[in-house]
Amino acid sequence: MPKAVLSVDFDSARKEMVEDQIKGRGIQDNAVLQALLKVPRHLFVEPGFLSRAYSDFALPIKESQTISQPYIVALMTQSAMLNADDRVLEIGTGSAYQAAVLAEIVKEVYTIEIVESLARTADSKLKKLGYKNITVRHGDGYRGWQEKSPFDAILITAAAPTIPQLLVDQLKVGGRMVLPLGKTGGSQDLVVLTKQENGKLKEQYITAVVFVPMTGEIRR
């Protein structure tokens, strides 16, 4: 491992990241800020990128996927308007960093990853870190996790070309779905969808983002 990486003070870098990149860019939810202060992002990035673990960039992980930039993780988490007793479904486990952040805030996290090797690695890593309120499943997130529904919030961490109705059906009335909506090959709209009593969705635009595509049945 390069000496430059060995000399990184990860605790100080994480505090600086939260102060400058997260709080400094308008994230105000204290639970979100505390979660990002606690979760060691450097344990979720690939070894070759340790020196950039607390920079505000998305970084490549295995299987042509990415770990989202810290600000976007914070923004999506804040946008979900989470409470301590919430049950949350995440679609697209990836590195498991987002799942860990969620688990610091809510009661239960269920996360689905379509790439089996990533699901296995995520499950192992989260267990080693002591997370007992996260359940990882290998599968197609398009169909959600019916037997564990309904959920207070659903976060989709891959670009969806359309709103997956099967996931809407698994959301509680008043529940929030946060997702990058739109085609890949350019930017998508990060939106929050709130489920109304009549089953319809109230949509709120947050910002433009760029995510890897959601794969599986939604693309067929």
**Which residues form the domain of 144?**
3-219
pLDDT at 7 over 80: no
Domain CATH number, residue 97: 3.40.50.150
Q: What is the per-residue pLDDT across 110-169, written as a single tens digit (0 to 9) for each?
A: 999 999 999 999 999 999 999 999 999 999 999 999 999 999 999 999 999 999 999 999
CA angle 82, 71, 9 (to 5 degrees): 110
pLDDT at 93 over 50: yes
Q: What is the per-residue pLDDT across 23-52, written as a single tens digit (0 to 9) for each?
A: 999 999 999 999 999 999 999 999 999 999
Q: How many domains does the chain have?
A: 1
**How many CB atoms neighbour CB 137 within 10 A?**
15
- Distance from C-alpha of 58 to C-alpha of 54, rounded to nearest angstrom: 10
Q: Which one of 12, 55, 64, 68 is the catalytic residue?
A: 68
Tell me the pTM: 0.93
Q: What distances in angstroms separate CA 125 from CA 121, 159, 188, one per listed residue? A: 6, 25, 30
**12 catalytically annotated:** no
pLDDT of residue 212: 86
- Distance from C-alpha of 46 to C-alpha of 61, rounded to nearest angstrom: 6
pLDDT at 1 over 50: no
Q: What is the per-residue pLDDT across 44-61, written as a single tens digit (0 to 9) for each?
A: 999 999 999 999 999 999
Q: Which helix (H) or strand (E) holds 15?
A: helix 10-16
